[in-house]
Structure 1
Amino acid sequence: MTHPLPMSRRTMLQNSLLGAAAFGVPAILAGCSNPADQGTPGTGGAAARGTVSVGSNASDEVPKKALQTVVQAFTQADVKINTVDHNTFQENINRYLQGRPDDVFTWFAGYRMRFFAEQGLATDISDVWQGIGADYTPAFKQAATGSDGKQYFVPFTYYPWAVFYRKSVWEEKGYAVPKTLDEFTALATKMKSDGLVPIAFADKDGWPAMGTFDIVNMRVNGYDFHISLMAGKESWTDPRVKQVFDTWRGLLEHHQPGANGRTWQEAAQSLQQKKTGMYLLGMFVAQQFPESDLDDLDFFAFPEINPQFGQDSVEAPIDGYMISAKARNVEGAKQLLKHLASAASQNVATKLDPGTLAASSKADTSGYSALQKRGAELVSQAAHISQFLDRDTRPDFASTVMIPALQRFIGKPDDIDALLKDIEAQKTNIFR
């Protein structure tokens, strides 16, 4: 008999909220719903059309300020931003969209966008794309397109995942960028002997470890296998998947201990404070560095494991906006999406948030920091771009299976066979 994976506190919270909703208790995200009327007309600019509400997961200080600043320049309607803790928003999104959602909501490109479009929970914005399409590359448009060929998403910013480090520390210690897994492991061993924790690591929020799994899987088995696995088309008991966890297990001794009790922000601060040598994370790690330290932050692509695939894949999630199917001010929402799609809006956002890059091909990149320029170059040179585990697969599989599974692995890395058997059993039930 297959035993269920242990339930995380986050999953317990999610399940309790679902149960509360069934008995009529308002959901956490119900507070994001529109008022009964359309609000008071906006002032200035084009004629306002009531109020547009935005359900936002931008709860950290830097991205929250960036969105607020961008929205201040929108004059065609009043905008009410309802910010919810990032993880709470993400874990309750399905129930939120089926309840009384905001007009516009922050979300992700790729599979997770398509999932809600297929469920009839998002508004077709193909007409918006007729006006903004020239501002995006075909790849970005594809990432905004549902299975039916219609567009449901406006890309706003994106950020690559890589291994970040402080240049001053590496120069002082004489470290060199590793190109292979053996070199990476040797470097980690050297860092440990120098009194550094080699690899900063955190998974209290459940999703950061997904990035490690993704990149190791793509380095070991290639992009196509990874995407097929995310789509439920491959078995988690496949020897190729076991090899990923075996490889990762070999690296865990170099990771910061106690990861399941640490937030990504705390791990990033350890890098900033020169207590750790490197950190595999998204470029948003820069949010935890004071401006005076940003020039000292650099990165390299995760090293090669299998020569067949080299370093041909990069993880570069795209964040953006969608309109809920139950939006009350659809026209105002579409006008706001056009505003968010503009190069001018994205220029403001990437200036305020040094950990992001503008999705618009017309954005002004001349003002990018050295870190941002390197990030854009990394993505442009990649043969394959993944969106992230919880964006490339079903949201229910990501939240209820993979979050506790990866935390279980981190806590008990020698129980791989039983872990993969449990994941496969649950996957079969979800993807049937």
Structure 2
Amino acid sequence: MSRPRTQAEYLARLVPPSVAGLNRRTLLAGAAGAGGLLGTGLLAGCGDSDSGGSGSKTVSMGSNASDPTPKDVLAKVSGAFKTSSGIEVAINTVDHNTFQENINNYLQGKPDDVFTWFAGYRMRFFAERGLAGDVSDVWGKLSGFSDAFKKASTGDDGKQYFVPFSYYPWAVFYRKSVWQQYGYQVPKNLDEFTALANQMKKDGLIPIAFADKDGWPAMGTFDILNLRINGYQFHVDLMAGKEAWTSDKVKKVFDTWAGLLPLHQPDALGRTWQEAAQSLQQKKSGMYLLGLFVAQQFNADEQADIDFFTFPEIDSVIGAKALDAPIDGYMMARKPKSEANAKKLLEYIGGVDAANISVQTDPGTLVANTGADTSGYSALQKKAAELVGSATEIAQFLDRDTRPDFASTVIIPALQQFIKDPKDVGGLLTSIENQKKSIFTS
């Protein structure tokens, strides 16, 4: 595949045709079990109040932006929206993982007017089930988005249900000062990567910072290894349930990962991604595979010391041009208490002013609106934009490219079991495949 030269070209690859047309027929298998948190009000919508009726000057938002930087971005965007419209945003912030685990029951109950969510499979899943509102008319007022961004925001019925706000690539991050101190060089292939990690171990560093307490970070490791070993098309077909997890191709991914695990930070299941990032920040670790948002864990002076490289090639025929670059954004509830205000908010969020606030506030993401003033991007952000622009294929991330029930109830526990005990790969993959067949044929 030729190298994309424009944002539209690379973003056109964000929604693979083999995935986009799948019928989402079943409910989240684990939602009932996870839904207990709803009873405690942890993910109950602010929209339960009567403040969103006709003539209201408020709109409610359910937000997973629980980390300081994205929370600050949303607060500033909401404040600017109130200044321009006179409408106040009542933000219901919930821990990121709790939000994701309970989203299905939340949307079937009394959700907020607008809520944070993701492009890709997960957006289309709720759109197809009638759990999201049609915002096609909002898109009629938006500018600065390529056709590819619009495609990433469109449900299987051709209507838009999502307004993109930001995106970010996954790569291997490191501190330049540490690498300069030890004379490390960016590896070009897996052998060089492994040799580098072993040298870091000899130098007293943790070679690869790692965390999976929350279940999702390890998905990024699986994604990149599968993309490097088996290529993009096999990866998206595997996510779509079209390939067998018991195949030799998938076994090779886990065998390769098992060989790398001793070079990862131990006890990962008890550590959050932020804690792993602190290991890099404190110069205790040499590398960290994560999204660009890792920069949020460094102060302004330290951010100039961060650099990254794309995970190196494993198979020279496949190369190293595919990567994960998820899109984050906003959706509207199917029956918002204040639909007019909800759409006004989404129009503002999709505009240049909101994008400029993000550029000025968040060093860990790239803005989706091409009309934004990106002159304020850090060197790290500029390099990240170049990385995404040079990618030949772009995935959304494992739990966004496959069925949400499969990701949450099968893959998360399976990967955590593998990290805990990587010896029985065959048995693990047989279990995944059996559960996949049950879920994808239901």
Q: 1:425 aligns with which of 397, 414, 434?
A: 434
2:224 counterpart of 1:207: no
Q: Could you say which residue in structure 2 is the equivalent of 1:67?
A: 74
Whole-angstrom CA distance in 1 between matches of 2:305 and 2:31: 39
Question: What is the SS of the residue equivalent to 1:100?
Answer: coil
Q: 1:313 aligns with which of 314, 322, 326?
A: 322
2:52 counterpart of 1:38: yes
Q: 2:35 aligns with which of 14, 18, 23?
A: 18
Q: Could you say which residue in structure 2 is the equivalent of 1:53?
A: 60
**1:346 Cα offset (Å):** 1.2
**Alignment TM-score, normalising by the size of structure 1:** 0.92
- The code of the aligned residue for 2:47 comes to S
- The code of the aligned residue for 1:69 comes to K
2:120 counterpart of 1:86: no
Q: Could you say which residue in structure 2 is the equivalent of 1:373?
A: 382
- The code of the aligned residue for 1:60 comes to D
**1:329 Cα offset (Å):** 1.0
Whole-angstrom CA distance in 2 between matches of 1:30 and 1:326: 15
Whole-angstrom CA distance in 1 between matches of 2:107 and 2:119: 16
Q: Could you say which residue in structure 2 is the equivalent of 1:255?
A: 264
**Alignment TM-score, normalising by the size of structure 2:** 0.90
Residues 421/27 of structure 1: CA separation in 2 closer, same or farther (3 Å cut): farther
Residues 255/321 of structure 1: CA separation in 2 closer, same or farther (3 Å cut): same
Gapped regions of structure 2 (runs ≥ 5) = 1-27
Of residues 251-260 and 25-34 in structure 1, the stretch that sits farther from structure 2 once superposed is 25-34
Q: Give the conservation status (yes or no) of the 8 Å contact 2:37–2:43.
A: no
**1:165 Cα offset (Å):** 0.1
Whole-angstrom CA distance in 1 between matches of 2:36 and 2:328: 30
Q: Give the conservation status (yes or no) of the 8 Å contact 2:133–2:332.
A: yes
Q: Could you say which residue in structure 2 is the equivalent of 1:131?
A: 141
Whole-angstrom CA distance in 2 between matches of 1:406 and 1:20: 24
Q: Could you say which residue in structure 1 is the equivalent of 2:155?
A: 146
Residues 259/15 of structure 1: CA separation in 2 closer, same or farther (3 Å cut): farther
Q: Could you say which residue in structure 2 is the equivalent of 1:95?
A: 105
2:250 counterpart of 1:233: no
Q: 2:367 aligns with which of 358, 364, 376?
A: 358
Residues 40/118 of structure 1: CA separation in 2 closer, same or farther (3 Å cut): closer
**1:154 Cα offset (Å):** 0.5
Q: Give the conservation status (yes or no) of the 8 Å contact 2:31–2:104.
A: no
Q: Could you say which residue in structure 1 is the equivalent of 2:290?
A: 281
**1:353 Cα offset (Å):** 1.2
- The code of the aligned residue for 2:141 comes to G
**1:83 Cα offset (Å):** 0.2
- The code of the aligned residue for 1:18 comes to G
Q: Give the conservation status (yes or no) of the 8 Å contact 2:418–2:425.
A: yes
2:120 counterpart of 1:110: yes
Q: Could you say which residue in structure 2 is the equivalent of 1:6?
A: none
Q: 1:393 aligns with which of 381, 388, 402?
A: 402
Whole-angstrom CA distance in 2 between matches of 1:66 and 1:328: 25
Q: Give the conservation status (yes or no) of the 8 Å contact 2:34–2:101.
A: no
Whole-angstrom CA distance in 2 between matches of 1:18 and 1:90: 11
Whole-angstrom CA distance in 1 between matches of 2:52 and 2:155: 29
**1:150 Cα offset (Å):** 1.2
Residues 39/128 of structure 1: CA separation in 2 closer, same or farther (3 Å cut): closer
Residues 31/322 of structure 1: CA separation in 2 closer, same or farther (3 Å cut): closer
Q: Give the conservation status (yes or no) of the 8 Å contact 1:40–1:50.
A: no
- The code of the aligned residue for 2:153 comes to A
2:169 counterpart of 1:160: yes
Of residues 307-316 and 109-118 in structure 1, the stretch that sits farther from structure 2 once superposed is 307-316
Whole-angstrom CA distance in 1 between matches of 2:114 and 2:241: 30
- Number of matched pairs: 410
Q: Give the conservation status (yes or no) of the 8 Å contact 2:359–2:376.
A: no
Question: What is the SS of the residue equivalent to 2:264?
Answer: coil
Question: What is the SS of the residue equivalent to 1:363?
Answer: coil
**1:347 Cα offset (Å):** 1.5
Q: Give the conservation status (yes or no) of the 8 Å contact 1:34–1:53.
A: no
Q: Could you say which residue in structure 1 is the equivalent of 2:22?
A: none
**1:50 Cα offset (Å):** 2.9
Question: What is the SS of the residue equivalent to 2:141?
Answer: helix
Question: What is the SS of the residue equivalent to 1:101?
Answer: coil
**1:18 Cα offset (Å):** 3.2
Whole-angstrom CA distance in 2 between matches of 1:89 and 1:249: 31
Question: What is the SS of the residue equivalent to 1:366?
Answer: helix
Residues 64/140 of structure 1: CA separation in 2 closer, same or farther (3 Å cut): same
**1:250 Cα offset (Å):** 0.9
**1:39 Cα offset (Å):** 6.8
**1:414 Cα offset (Å):** 1.1
Of residues 339-348 and 154-163 in structure 1, the stretch that sits farther from structure 2 once superposed is 339-348
Q: Give the conservation status (yes or no) of the 8 Å contact 1:40–1:78.
A: no
Question: What is the SS of the residue equivalent to 2:374?
Answer: coil
Q: Give the conservation status (yes or no) of the 8 Å contact 2:45–2:112.
A: no
Whole-angstrom CA distance in 2 between matches of 1:292 and 1:181: 32
Gapped regions of structure 1 (runs ≥ 5) = 1-10, 42-48
Q: 1:191 aligns with which of 191, 195, 200?
A: 200
Whole-angstrom CA distance in 2 between matches of 1:316 and 1:39: 38
Residues 368/94 of structure 1: CA separation in 2 closer, same or farther (3 Å cut): same
Residues 32/401 of structure 1: CA separation in 2 closer, same or farther (3 Å cut): farther
Q: Note the alpha carbon deviations across 1:40-90, whole angstroms, 9 max, x for none.
A: 97xxxxxxx432100000001111011000110113322100000000000
- Over the matched positions of the two proteins, sequence identity in percent amounts to 64
Q: Give the conservation status (yes or no) of the 8 Å contact 2:31–2:105.
A: no
Q: Give the conservation status (yes or no) of the 8 Å contact 2:53–2:338.
A: no
Q: Give the conservation status (yes or no) of the 8 Å contact 1:59–1:85.
A: yes
